[in-house]
Amino acid sequence: MKEIQPVNQNVLLDITDANDERKTAGGIIIPDTVKEKKNIARVVALSNVDNPEISVGDEVIFNEYNTTEIEYEGKKHLMVQYSEILAKIVETDSI
């Protein structure tokens, strides 16, 4: 089995669900050029980073303007530098 393993302090994010084909209520397909890109994704893999603040499975917010889109084995991914990860989404207790 082959998989993508990031190097040089890169993080691989899964965006398969984020870019699914969307339609209006009337059935008109919204083209990719019009859709807003989401800047939230799940971490699939990360390279060797000293003391990483994220791990595989975390949901993160990233800088959407400095990414490389990759399609591999039918799944869509983004490769982003570790420094471009802006925040991690965490579960908190309600007050």
pLDDT tens by residue, 38-58: 799 999 999 999 999 999 999
In this structure, of 24-38, 52-66, 75-89, the range with the lowest mean pLDDT score is 24-38
Question: Domains of the chain: which residue ranges?
Answer: 10-21+32-89
Give the pair of three-digit tokens for residue 57. Answer: 């499975």
CATH number of 10-21+32-89: 2.30.33.40
- Give the separation between CA 68 and CA 28, rounded to whole angstroms: 28
Q: Phi/psi of residue 84, each to 5°?
A: -90, 0
Enter the pTM of the model. Answer: 0.77
Q: 66 or 36: whose pLDDT is higher?
A: 66
The rounded distance, in Å, linking the Cα atoms of 90 and 20 is 25
pLDDT of residue 19: 47
